[in-house]
Structure 1
Amino acid sequence: MTHDSIGSFLDKAAPALAKAPGALVFAEDQVEVDTTLAHALKLGFGTVALFADPDIVVAEAIAPRIQRIDWDIHRDEAVQTAVNKVIAAAPAAWLHYCYNAEYLFFPFCETRSVADLLAFHAEERRDAMLTYVIDLYAGDLDRFPNAVSRAEALLDRSGYYALGRPDPANHNHPKERQLDFFGGLRWRFEEHVPWTRRRIDRIGLFRAKPDLALREDHTFSVEEYNTYACPWHNNLTAAICSFRTAKALRTNPGSRFDIHSFRWQNSVPFQWHSQQLMDLGLMEPGQWF
């Protein structure tokens, strides 16, 4: 179903979002839009909504299974505005948001649904889940000039680190249970990435509530949502495997001609399986066995 406004979408979708987790996909271009939507549907999201310009094409087999909203994705705060409108209209709904060519993985997602995941997470009294955005990239940029190839995707097996997140309201002392995470292409090619865009952490799964708001830096207005674990033990985390940074570095004129390969000694093929991400320490099963 296609909606000409986000209001029309929310009028029809809010009851469904209250019953099953929803995925909000923001298409910046045509690259891998169909596979991103298909992946979200496979994970078991009850509502999959595509926010995109009208000229973005969706495969006929997928189009009837999604909600489509005409949206100017390139305007300032486009994603932030849309997510916050959905939060306000669907309090208590579990939501995931991502861009095209991004794929959510969580522990054991091959045999368990996203509803199973979030039911367990809620039982642990958690309303948000940390997701690491793990860069994917093609190994051969001559064959894949936009750095996107699902069949030959690579990722970094090491090079990730975290720093304490300073609290300006408390003399810049580190915030409790909050860290800024770095790594991947944004770390290796940091000269091409503004400092404010180098973090790879995102609260990619969360439960809407009144007065909650997504901020420009992908954190939330409720500080507990930005924590990586509860005070008493480690919690589940997930990963968003993303071609977005590689695609941007190969598209932007300032970096395109300086980067001839993303390969390095720690590049490994991506197996498209949650076990690889857990083995590499890129997500945490917590107490969920």
Structure 2
Amino acid sequence: MRYGSLDEFLTNGRAALGKGPVAMVLVEDDVEVSTTLRHHLQIGFGTVLALMPAAFDLPADVTETVHRIDFDATADGAVTVAVNRVIGAAPGLWFYYCFNAEYLFFPFCETRSVGELLTFHAEERRDAMLTYVVDLYAEDLGKHPDAVSLEQAFLDRSGYYALARLDPAKEGAPKERQLDFFGGLRWRFEEHIPPTRRKIDRIGIFRAKPGLILRGDHTFSDEEYNTYACPWHHNLTATICSFRTAKALKTNPGSTHDINTFKWHNSAPFEWHSRQLLDLGLMEPGQWF
């Protein structure tokens, strides 16, 4: 089904939100759009929304299974506008949001669905899940000038770290169970990344509720949603494996000529399997086995 605008979808297509969990894919360009949509259908999302420019095409098999919404995902504030509008339309439903050329992985996702993941997470009285955005990049930028290659994707196996998230309302005291996470290309090429965009943490999975607001830094107005775990034990986390930063660095005129390769001594081929991400400590199974 195709809708001419987000308003049209929320007016005529709201029934699609009755089958969750819902994945929202914000399409910024025409890179790996269909593979992104297929990946999230395959891991078990009940509904997948593609918010994308009207000029882009989709293969027939994807068009039949995805709710397409004409939308400019590159406009200022587009992400918060889209997510917050949908939150208000479907309180109680689990949502996930990402961009094209981003792929969600969670513990044991090869044998368990995202619905099973969220059922367990909800049983632990959690309404949001921390996701780490882990950069992927092509091995050979000569062959892949946009830095995107599914067949020859690499990631950083180390170089990740966390800092306390300070609370201005409490004279800079650290916020409870909240951290700012850094690493990947945003750390290694930080001179090309604005300071406000260097974090790699995103509350990418959450349950909508009345009054909830997504903020521009990928955190929510409810501070408990921004925590990495509950007070009594570790909780599940997930990973969004993303070509978005590599793609931006190689297509931006201000950085592309300074970067001949993204590989370094801590690069490793991406295996497209949750076990690798668990072994590298890039997501947490919590009490889920």
Q: TM-score range by the shorter chain?
A: over 0.9
Cα contact 1:17–1:94 (8 A) shared by 2: no
Residue 247 (structure 2) aligns with:
247
Shift of 1:7: 2.5
Residue 214 (structure 1) aligns with:
214
Residue 130 (structure 2) aligns with:
130
Cα contact 2:28–2:72 (8 A) shared by 1: no
Residue 186 (structure 1) aligns with:
186
- Corresponding position: 1:280 with 2:287: no
Cα contact 1:237–1:285 (8 A) shared by 2: yes
Structure 1: distance between partners of 2:132 and 2:73: 23
Structure 2: distance between partners of 1:13 and 1:43: 23
Residue 34 (structure 1) aligns with:
34
Cα contact 1:18–1:92 (8 A) shared by 2: no
CA shift in 2, pair 1:69/1:16, >3 Å: closer
Residue type of the alignment partner of 2:114: V
Shift of 1:258: 0.3
Residue 199 (structure 2) aligns with:
199
Residue 226 (structure 1) aligns with:
226
Partner-residue secondary structure (3-state), 2:61:
coil
Structure 1: distance between partners of 2:258 and 2:101: 23
Q: In percent, how many aligned pairs have the same letter?
A: 67
Shift of 1:20: 1.7
Residue 89 (structure 2) aligns with:
89
Residue type of the alignment partner of 1:74: T
Cα contact 1:161–1:183 (8 A) shared by 2: yes
Partner-residue secondary structure (3-state), 1:257:
helix
Partner-residue secondary structure (3-state), 1:150:
coil
| Unmatched tracts of structure 1, length 5 or more | none
Residue 10 (structure 1) aligns with:
10
Shift of 1:12: 4.4
Shift of 1:148: 0.2
Cα contact 1:130–1:238 (8 A) shared by 2: yes
Partner-residue secondary structure (3-state), 1:254:
coil
Residue 44 (structure 2) aligns with:
44
Residue 22 (structure 1) aligns with:
22
Structure 2: distance between partners of 1:62 and 1:14: 20
Structure 1: distance between partners of 2:15 and 2:222: 24
Over aligned residue pairs, what C-alpha RMSD do you find?
A: 0.9
Residue type of the alignment partner of 1:207: R
For residues 46-65 of structure 1, the aligned pairs below 5 Å read: 46-65=46-65
Q: Provide the TM-score with structure 2 as the length reference.
A: 0.98
Could you tell which deviates more after superposition, 150-159 or 13-22?
13-22
Structure 2: distance between partners of 1:86 and 1:250: 32
Total equivalences in the alignment: 289
